[in-house]
């Protein structure tokens, strides 16, 4: 299931289930719409345990590029260890601002430097101190 929710600070695209071949076209369409209409796009991956490298490249990289070209930012929220490993393996783990939860991501969108890219470990360290 792919469910977009609009907020004052941006849009959250919550993905429920693994990102493989089946939901790719729907996710592509939702992420394209979100990047076109919102400066802050949060992709909530809390319920995604795996993502294929092909889906990652086609979806997240394309949506990130589209968002940046419009002056926006695409953030990842709560990616699993597996998703983080795929990001690292594809050498794109530093591309996406990555957050432990939606509250921290929205706080960063409101108050952060949108040109910087915090990593998950940095965000987790700042929320526990």
**pLDDT tens track, the chain, 129 positions:** 788 899 887 899 998 888 775 567 888 889 999 999 999 999 999 998 888 877 777 677 889 899 999 999 999 999 998 888 888 888 888 888 999 999 999 988 888 666 665 554 444 444 444
Distance CA 82, CA 73 (A): 23
Q: What is the pTM of this model?
A: 0.83
What are the residue ranges spanned by the domains of the chain?
2-128
pLDDT, tens only, 40-72: 999 999 998 888 877 777 677 889 899 999 999
Tell me how far CA of residue 63 lies from CA of 34, 101, 129, in angstroms: 9, 20, 32
Domain covering 2-128, topology = Transcription Regulator spoIIAA (3.30.750)
Spatial CA neighbour of 119 closest among 92, 128, 103: 92
42 CB-near residues (< 8 Å, 6+ apart): 10, 11, 12, 13, 75, 76, 77, 99, 102, 105, 106, 109
């Amino acid at each position: 299931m792919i469910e977009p929710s609009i907020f004052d600070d941006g849009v959250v695209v919550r993905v429920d289930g693994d990102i493989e071949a089946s939901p790719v076209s729907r996710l592509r369409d939702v992420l394209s719409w979100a990047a076109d209409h919102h400066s802050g796009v949060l992709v909530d991956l809390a319920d995604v345990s795996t993502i294929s490298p092909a889906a990652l490249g086609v979806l997240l990289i394309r949506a990130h590029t589209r968002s940046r070209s419009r002056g926006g930012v695409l953030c990842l929220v709560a990616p699993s260890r597996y998703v983080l490993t795929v990001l690292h393996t594809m050498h794109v783990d530093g591309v996406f601002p990555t957050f432990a939860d939606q509250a921290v991501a929205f706080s960063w969108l409101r108050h952060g430097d949108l040109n910087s890219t915090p990593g998950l470990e940095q965000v987790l360290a700042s929320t526990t101190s």
